[in-house]
Amino acid sequence: MVRKTLILPLALAVAAVCAGTVPVMEPWTVSSSVEEHVSRYSPPILSNGDIGMLVDFRNCQYQDTPSLKSIHAVGAGYFPATCRQGRRTPDAKLVTLGRVEEEVVVGGGKDAKPTSWSQRLDIFGAASVCSNGYANGSCIGSTAFVASGKPVFAVRKSFSGEVERYVFKWVFRRPGPSGRPPAGVAFAVEPGRIRWSTDFDGLRAEAAADGEPPLVGTVELRCSCPSVRLSADGDTLYATVERPEGNVDFFVVFNDSMDDAPCSGDAVAAAGWDTLKARHEAEWAEFWKRSEVQIPDASVLRTYQTAFYNLKCWSTKWAVPIGILPTHWNGKYFGFGFNGAAFAVAGHFDEAKRIGRFWAGILPQARHRAGGQKRKEGLSNPAAGARFAWQPVEDGHETTGDGRWKDHFMHMGTIPADCWNAWLYTGDRKFLASTYPVIRDCANYFRTWLVQRLDDGRTVIGPVCDLERLPCPARNAFLTTCSAIYALERAADAATVLGVDAASVPAWCDTAAALRRDLPKAGGRYLAFEGCDRTSVGTLSGLFPYNVLPRDDAVQKATVDHFDRNGIRVGNMYSVGTRICTWYAAWLADDYARLLDGEAAFRNLSLANVSAGFFNEIFEINEPSYRSCPWCQAPPATFVQTVHDMLLQCEGDVLRVAPAVPSAWRDFSFRLRAYDDVEVSARFADGRPVSLMLRAGASHSGRTKKVKFADGRTFDARITGEGRDFIR
């Protein structure tokens, strides 16, 4: 991704805030000079796929920012926190590791609050850049980041004017205003360090009587200032600097018993800010250069880029959870998430394959849940397949609370898609072989547990909970049935590629064909489920995400058009609000992209973009009367995939270049991946292709590709590792 933004230097931003002037607003920037930025402020995320944080406009994590009260979150208020993925209390919640606050004394000995502020999220460098002005004319600028590849939160404070005292605080409390310690841990505080443990019998590291060792860890605070005074009280670490001048750097270093190797706070401080920041920026630059998208609509482009930043932040060593925060379902994994394809198309093969490997890693637990595997006897009934939890954690166990969502099954199609899509794009046959059991067992679960053959000759999926806004139970539910068709057909495809399970292939294919034949329909369009008269986004799923209906299916096209006209009536995931949420609008846009209708795709993508936040972040819902959970993973992944599908689509060995681009996009370019490890770089000028470079990766099969443009031009292409421009 080419970085094409004008970044306001920190010193200039600080000077503007402190002088009371407002600089020209940069992208990804909020400011106290804009009333709506204050009243509807929502902090951005910083994360390295291990540590997750929300940081506010002081690069702190204050719990009492008034605008946060209007943001809804699962199970609690929307409060900034710091967590590490996979570090869980016995009840499977993320361990909260405290938060950063500060004390600024500029006169009179009292803690002063900024009178003006600005914050910019640098998504390309994964940093928050803030400027704070105070009543006496002093200014504090700051840059904060969570270091790529290291368990370190780093903050540089830049002081100008008269500041009598500055105190950096690490407060070891649970999120919220209660002042209580983090739930599920015991801890001890000493100057510069907090020791914590999930064992309440003491801060010990040895195994308990049941053989399970407690999780133990530390939080260290270090500072670059030679005269800093480190101190501590009951639950807080302090780093106090008297009359600070220039740059002062603070490092919060996390270690625990899940780390492969310790990270020394002293070593981090000795290496210094510049070394840590340079490594961090280099690794993020490497991420962005894997792909490139440049389109003329600047706002849509920023939301696309922010969505990708969001996905990268939450990409852990396991997979992509909903978020690494208590407010984001406590870091649970959501099988109905669409992340794998988004990463694969942008050339992030490691991230894409990691998701499939995660599902393969927790397959034994999913088999046990389906009744097909006994803990001691082994696999007793292979036909039972596997049932993956709706919201598993790292060991595969279900952690969602009781509710109708426990009877969801549509994720049993998107989980195989994570495996199959990674294979399609990478061409990695070993990966397909290692994740084929996931695809096969999901297909078998559908066929054994859910497919019903009725007396009237129809084949349907039995009663389930489809989307939660629909009544339950739903028989022959469209979304779940499309999920089943996908799982069954991909199992047949994967078995054929690998030359295994040949006897099962006809049954999988026949069952999928019967389910497709008997999808619920009436009045010339598909229904959400048998007998349902409600409009539902689930009826779009024959195209996105499952692509199990051809684009010339007139009933699916009529259904998409019906939702386009009526979707506003069911526009959100929950029964609140007055307009369509970003996720559903992007879902509809991707359907139109797959129907090769660029005008409708862009119209709905623009509608999706309306609800983006001030940092171009995507919320679950973002309306004047209701805001819910920004920075979760499924809606951003859908937005990203829609942009990709407008620019490039693959059908076997056919590459469709710019198949769903609106007429308003006259000049644009992209560099993305096609199936079979092929890199596609295209540039259009005045609506016409002027460059199309195709380059083969290491796993490319050598098969000839057929390239199609939207204007009907078609040619065959033999692709090599050196690459060739097929236009020039």
Q: What is the pLDDT of residue 377?
A: 55
The answer to whether residue 221 is domain-embedded is: yes
- Asked whether the predicted pLDDT for residue 15 surpasses 70, the reply is no
Q: Does residue 418 share a domain with residue 283?
A: no
Q: pLDDT value at position 326? A: 94
Point out the domain boundary residue: 497, 526, 555. 526
Residue 89 pLDDT > 50? yes
Same domain flag for 332 and 279: no
Domain of residue 332: give its range: 327-526
Residue pointed to by tokens 């401080």:
269
Asked if residue 603 is part of any domain, the answer here is: no
Write the single-letter amino acid at 505: V
Answer for the pair 98, 172: CB distance below 8 angstroms, yes or no: yes
User: Where is the domain boundary, 490, 510, 526?
Assistant: 526
Both 398 and 279 in one domain: the answer is no
Q: Is 415 domain-assigned?
A: yes
Does 195 reside within a domain? yes
- 487-503 b/e with 16+ CB inside 10 Å = b? bbbbbbbbbeeeeebee
Looking at per-residue pLDDT, the higher value among 23 and 258 belongs to 258
How many other CB atoms sit within 10 Å of the CB of residue 20?
11
Q: Band the pLDDT of 12: cuts 50, 70, 90.
A: very low
Q: What pLDDT, in 10s, does the model give residues 632-663?
A: 988 999 999 999 999 999 999 999 999 999 99
Is there a single domain that holds both residue 76 and residue 142? yes
Within a domain: residue 426?
A: yes
Quick check: 676 and 700 in contact, CB under 8 A? yes
Give yes or no: residues 198 and 344 share one domain.
Answer: no
Rounded Cα gap, residues 45 and 436, in angstroms: 35
- What's the CATH code of the domain at 511? 1.50.10.10
**H helix runs in 597-671, sequence order:** 598-610, 634-647
pLDDT of residue 75: 64
- If asked whether residues 15 and 128 sit together in one domain, one would say yes
Same domain, 256 and 338: no
- What confidence tier does 513 reach under pLDDT thresholds 50, 70, 90? very high
Distances (CA, A) of 17 to 31, 80, 131, 132, 599: 9, 24, 7, 7, 42
- Check whether residue 227 and residue 350 sit in a common domain: no
User: Residue 393 — very low, low, confident or very high, per pLDDT cuts 50/70/90?
Assistant: very high
Q: What is the pLDDT of residues 104-126, one digit of tens each?
A: 999 877 899 999 999 999 999 99
Strand partners, 159: 140, 246
Sign of CA dihedral 696, 698, 703, 709: negative
22-31, 329-338, 476-485: which range is least confident on average? Answer: 22-31
Amino acid identity at 635: P
pLDDT value of residue 590: 98
**Residue 182 per-residue DSSP state:** P
pLDDT at 18 > cutoff 80:
no
| 452 found inside a domain | yes
Count up the domains in the chain and report the number.
2
Residues 250 and 357 in one domain: no
pLDDT for the residue 73 = 87
Quick one: which of 397, 529, 403 has its CA closest to 460? Answer: 529
- Contact predicate 230/179, CB 8 Å: no
Examine the domain organization and report whether 356 and 278 are in the same domain. no
Q: Is the pLDDT of residue 8 over 70?
A: no
Question: pLDDT tens digits, residue range 139-175?
Answer: 999 999 999 999 999 999 999 999 999 999 999 999 9
Give the separation between CA 274 and CA 37, rounded to whole angstroms: 32
Mean residue pLDDT across the chain = 92
- Does residue 626 have a pLDDT over 70? yes
Q: CA-CA distance, 551 to 595, in Å (whole number)?
A: 5
Q: Which of 481, 499, 526 is the last residue of a domain?
A: 526
* Residue 421 and residue 284 share a domain: no
Going by pLDDT thresholds of 50, 70 and 90, the confidence category of residue 199 is: confident
- The position carrying tokens 């500029």 is 106
| Per-residue confidence band for 567, with pLDDT thresholds at 50, 70 and 90 | confident
61 and 108 both lie in a single domain: yes
Q: In CATH, what number is assigned to the domain containing residue 153?
A: 2.70.98.50
432 located within any domain: yes
pLDDT confidence band for 403 (50 / 70 / 90): confident
Residue the block writes with tokens 């004390």: 103
pTM of the model: 0.94
| Residue 17 pLDDT class (50, 70, 90 cuts) | very low
The lowest-confidence range among 53-57, 492-496, 574-578 is 574-578
Predicted pLDDT at 468: 75
Q: Is residue 24 part of a domain?
A: yes
